[in-house]
Structure 1
Amino acid sequence: MATGDIRRNAAAVREQMRQAAKQRARLIHFPEGHLSGYAKEQVDDWSLVDWDAARQELEQIAALAAALRLWVILSSAHPLTPPHRPHNSLYVISDQGRLVDRYDKRFCSNTEVTRFYTPGVRPVTVDVDGFRFGLIICVEINFPHLFSEYEQLGVDCLLISAYPVDEIFHVKARAHAAINNYWISLSVPAQTAHLVPAGLIGPNGARLADIPPAGDLVVADLDRGDPQLHVALNLARPWRATARHGDIYRARQVHDPRSADPTIF
């Protein structure tokens, strides 16, 4: 449950980290704005945010990540030097307790970019236990080229932190997973669970694991050996890369008057 209370949010984050570690998870992924609160929902004015509290809580979360040997992908507003607005960010905290990278939302909504956030400029990937993860935030689901970009960067699983406002969001996420043939982890707050289920989507677009209605955590494996994912991972994804490169088509193009003239039957 997302709130405007940073201390309360951080306590919930640490509790879920402990739960995940007990189930032998290696990475935990949180919704959009989960630490600071999300603009337009929990935050109306950045001057009301206790940034010192946010930094203190982030340090404690990082220390717990090291103690639990758990990677943490945590979303929060990231303050910039005044008068610049914050980024809408995902912190990448390693299982050593280090902040190793940060993804800043690149495509913000009109309200976000005009009133609340400074947009980011680059994709971010991180490798954990032989899998490559990419990061995207909420409304960016409407920009297919970002998903193609991550496929070309070799991502195995895309982590989407969101605060969705409609049911079609989940359909889009499943479509992107099936088109790009990678897993998608979709993390949303309890406030939006009636619209979009949080959980793991497979490279074939199938729902592999959803957080139960009364729960706040689901643990799932990325299994490259799952026979149900053979076509998506071992056939479709490499073929689409070959097709995108185009040589297989250019080599088969012909010079034929019946091809060149589009006005004949």
Structure 2
Amino acid sequence: MPPLRLATAQLPITGNARQNGQKVRAAMRDAAASGARLILFPEGMLSGYAKNPIQDWSEVDWDVVREELEQVMVLAAALELWVVLGSAHPLTPPHRPHNSLYIISDQGELVNRYDKRFCSATETNRFYTPGLEPLIFEVDGFRFGCAVCVEINFPALFIEYDELGVDCMLLPSYPIDRIFFVKARAYAAIHNFWLALSVPSECADLMKSAVIGPDGGVMAQVEAAEGTVLNDLDRDAPELDVALKKARPWRAVAGTGEFYRDAHVTDPRSTDKTVL
């Protein structure tokens, strides 16, 4: 199967959806010109993220957000580019919005939406309605899973996606500490999948948007405060042979206990835990 070129953006996020949408579409054009098949944007990229810069949802013109989203969809079709775009998704008043990722196909269709399930306490109490379900979608034979920001603190979520057979986790975020990047590398190495981390320019002093390999290594990252990084997801890359073709299938078998069943023995020196 041929590699898939993934673009991961790092852009400033404002409270102006028009301005955010222009940034999104410019990055899409650059990514498509470089051969990308999918581009990932940060958490809250289109609408603006709650707490910074959005202090109250009354500040957001949802009609403008919808218009900008529709323009992104039209451009995605023209560029034949998949887009994963962070944005708040309004619900019926008085319900708070979801903290969402819009999944837009290379035909310009909104094919699905991931709603952040594990929102922070502040998010849940003031800004967002939590979602309920995992989300997987496929592009050119690669399976992508979605998580958002603080969800990195819930190992069960990443175990769930591993069991669902994802090749790459998409993790748009608005991080507040540097340890976040270490956690992302750990999940990629433990589960042997790629992990794309997209953060806003406002967080560039903490970490950069990056693609982490199935071995936990940083394969590519944005160098400046604003930009987009490209990386090919290649199942046949020699440097990933152990992670993808040995470690991941072995761990799947070992995790069930099947691998060790015939290796267990009946021995009193094993069962007696007090013997020297």
Q: Report the TM-score, using the length of structure 1 for normalisation.
A: 0.98
| Displacement after TM superposition at 1:219 (Å) | 1.3
Structure 2: distance between partners of 1:39 and 1:69: 31
Q: Which residue in 1 is equivalent to 2:166?
A: 155
Residue 132 of structure 2 corresponds to 121
Question: Do residues 65 (structure 1) and 93 (structure 2) align?
Answer: no
Q: CA shift at 1:215, angstroms?
A: 4.2
The percentage of aligned residue pairs carrying the same residue is: 62
| Structure 1: tracts of 5 or more residues without a match | none
CA distance, structure 2, for counterparts of residue 142 and residue 237 of structure 1: 22
2:14 equivalent to 1:3: yes
- Tell me by how many angstroms 1:214 deviates: 5.1
Q: Which residue of 1 aligns with 2:175?
A: 164
Matched AA of 2:156: H
| Partner of residue 100 from structure 2, selected from 89, 99, 119 | 89
Q: CA-atom RMSD, angstroms?
A: 1.0
Cα deviation per residue 1:182-236 (whole Å; 9 max; x = unaligned)? 1011000001011011111100011111112254111111011111100000000
Q: Distance in 1 between matches of 2:158 and 2:241?
A: 21
Find the partner of 1:50 among 43, 55, 61.
Answer: 61
Letter in 2 for 1:213: A
By relative contact order (CA 8 Å, sep 6+), the higher-ranking structure is 2
For structure 2, which runs of at least 5 residues remain unmatched after alignment? 1-11
Q: What secondary structure does 2:52 align onto?
A: coil
Deviation at 1:260, TM superposition (A): 2.1
Who is 2:4 aligned against? none
| Counterpart contact for 2:204–2:225, Cα < 8 Å | no
Give the number of equivalent residue pairs: 265
Query: Where does structure 1 differ by over 4 angstroms across 4 or more consecutive aligned residues?
Result: none
Residue number in structure 1 paired with 2:200: 189
> How far apart are the structure 2 equivalents of 1:213 and 1:52?
33
TM-score (norm 2): 0.94
Check whether the contact 2:37–2:80 (CA below 8 A) recurs between aligned residues: yes
Which residue of 1 is the match for residue 222 of structure 2? 211
1:130 corresponds, among 138, 141, 145, to: 141
- Distance across 2 between alignment mates of 1:6 and 1:215: 18
